[in-house]
Amino acid sequence: MSAASTWTIAAVRDALKSKEISARELTRDFFARIENRNRQLNAYLALSLERAYAQADRVDAMIAKGEALPPLAGVPIAIKDVISTRGVTTTCGSKILETYVPPYEATAVERLERAGAVILGKTNCDEFAMGSSNENSAYGPVRNPVSLDHVPGGSSGGSAAAVAAGLAVAALGTDTGGSIRQPGACCGVPGMMPTYGRVSRYGLIAFASSLDRIGPLTQNVTDAATVMSVIAGHDPSDSTSAAVPVPNYAADLEKPVQGLRIGVPEDYFGEGLDSEVREKVLAGIALLEKMGCRRMPLKMPHTDYAIATYYIVATAEASSNLARYDGVRYGLRIPGATVGEMYRNTRERGFGPEVKRRIMLGTYMLSAGYYDAYYLRAQKVRSLIARDFADAFQKVDAIITPTAPTPAFRLGEKTADPLQMYLADIYTVTGSLAGVPGISVPCGKTKCGLPIGMQVFAPHFGESRVLEIARAFEKASTATP
């Protein structure tokens, strides 16, 4: 078990049960890996050593007593720094929350620890989860472990990089418009976005409340299913949490995919798609066909409006959610001669340029005279995009698309052009607006060795179908020379 990439959830469980290693030793090994590699990657912003070792000791005590182990016993897991952790700094990648320590725990984190997970620390991210490259963090960019001069994707780039580099067995990220799936594709690991409402948002510091979701980034699809089984389910603390039964995702993984109808929307394969990405995704679809899936062409006519719609809805909600950071109640405070001056000083110093840009855009969208022309119209188009998905799922069981239009780009390549950066989410924001579940699964590499991701969508609460197809593809592609 010397290679970091061999540590999957199943491998950890087997090693602990056979007493090949203790949970404390495994935790110490992961902290040593982080110390050795994190200066290079900048994936972690804070470590929770005391908390991690205390949990590891609890797991070791269970093993010594011969007790049955919970599903994530001893598994080292990282948490994106927009998810609240009691007693551990949670900055959202922003100077305005540089010293903020939450007094409460996010439900998803609480459920992980109840299942035995060892929380290693908090991972770097774009400020308030606003970005597609992890270059917007106030604490510096994360580097892609596959190629250090490339971005890891965003905004969950720290979580994706930590998993890809073997600095965590799994990690929680958040997905508003693609921020789990796109970094998963860039770093070559599976990244899962559940149905909106499937995983509690309690403790998730809000960017866009009608879009934000928590989900896992893992070493393989089986691990994604295991983590999803732990964190999913109704939570009375979250009014948007759905009271829908949670199946055993891992038990459903090995179902045959033969006969499933997979929709391939031509709207996702047009101009702007990198040729190598197109080639690998189409090869992935062909492999699914060989496994007995039936390919069906689709038209999703409102896809072209998705980016504009998303950035109107998301920035409007961000403008509202970020109004609370004013220097009065918590976080950074820069004094001024008046209360108004204190507000301005605090927000000017505390927020980075991308967050300011989105607040200004969102405030404009919601202002008198523009609300109907922009925000209300965007919500109507959002309904049309959701209808595209609903209509498609009347004909097919799942939809297959590229995850991103290009592989990971170079650090600094798109920072001067926000529109080009926003277009990195062109294939992911559609599912976000529709509220459906999706996963990015690795489907090959470019000639330069950069990972490429293939995206699978299913109907609302169809996580089992998404995982089933992703797992079947993962097994088949691993077996294919």
Q: How far apart are CA 219 and CA 21, in angstroms?
A: 20
Phi and psi at 177, nearest 5°, equal -135, 15
Residue from 80, 122, 280, 414 carrying the catalytic annotation: 80
Residue from 22, 48, 156, 179 carrying the catalytic annotation: 179
Does residue 432 have a cis bond before it (omega within 30 degrees)? no
Q: Is the dihedral of CA 419, 122, 452, 215 positive or negative?
A: negative
| 155 has catalytic annotation | yes
Sort residue 454 into left (φ over 0), alpha (ψ -120 to 50) or beta: beta
Residue from 48, 155, 241, 464 carrying the catalytic annotation: 155
Q: Which amino acid is at 455?
A: Q
| 179 has catalytic annotation | yes
- Which residues have a catalytic role annotated? 80, 155, 179
